[in-house]
Amino acid sequence: MDKSNSIDDLQLVKLKLNQTPWLICCLCAAWCDTCQMYRRNFEVVQSHHPEKCFAWLDIEDHADLIEDIDIENFPTILIQHDNKILFFGTMLPDASLVDRLIISLEDRVKDNNASDIPPTIQSSFGNPNWDLRQTLSTL
């Protein structure tokens, strides 16, 4: 894979964040076989949305970035527009679901102000004020 498109190089992710309000992140673990199989499909979704920032975050390698967020199931997907989390939850390992969700949220943001869209967040994740975009920007 071309290093300039790497979704796990957090410095490249940080640069891309300066170019777009969208952050789509998969939170996974290196030991998870499902995550390893899912990654290639997640990268295909990235190719469908080159104007958005995609990230792959290993929850053990980057435990300092996820603070007290409790990730128990994989893949866990975060979709954030500016500082608003629009979706944060576990999904079936079917990348087409993420692709359709991104398109749906993008349409809703075009039709409404993102701040008016109620977030879909699974309650078990912990800190409701967590902001991955802000955390990554401080690296």
What's CA 41's distance to the chain center, in Å? 14
pLDDT at 5: 52
Domain 3-137 has CATH 3.10.450.50: no
Give the C-alpha separation, 85 to 118, whole Å. Answer: 9
**Length reported for the chain:** 139
pLDDT at 1: 38
pLDDT at 50: 95
Spans of all domains in the chain: 3-137
pLDDT tens digits, the chain, 139 residues: what are they?
A: 344 457 778 889 999 999 999 999 999 998 989 988 999 999 999 999 999 999 999 988 888 888 777 787 888 999 999 989 999 988 888 989 999 999 999 999 998 877 777 777 765 565 667 788 888 888 8
Q: Could you give phi then psi for residue 58, rounded to 5 degrees?
A: -80, 120
